[in-house]
Amino acid sequence: MFEEEPILTNRGQTLDQMSIDELHARISTLRDQIAACEAEIAKKEAQKSAADALFGGKS
């Protein structure tokens, strides 16, 4: 199995209970996760384009 963090985690804290440093860390983690998602989307789009080109599919 993958050892990635769950996309959404319940840390038992609401945003108003978090310190400024905790909020900055959370934002950084979320940005990293967004970047990973965008990279995966780009990879899948490239794979789909290659398959479409090979098999004559339409986008």
Question: For residue range 5-49, what is the model confidence (pLDDT) as tens digits?
Answer: 666 655 578 999 999 999 999 999 999 999 999 999 999 999 999
| pLDDT at residue 1, as a whole number | 46
* Both structure tokens of 6: 């769950």
pLDDT grade for 56, boundaries at 50, 70 and 90: confident
The whole-model pTM stands at 0.67
Name residue 45's amino acid: E
Spatial CA neighbour of 6 closest among 28, 29, 22: 29
Q: Which residues contact 23 (CB under 8 A, 6 or more apart)?
A: 15
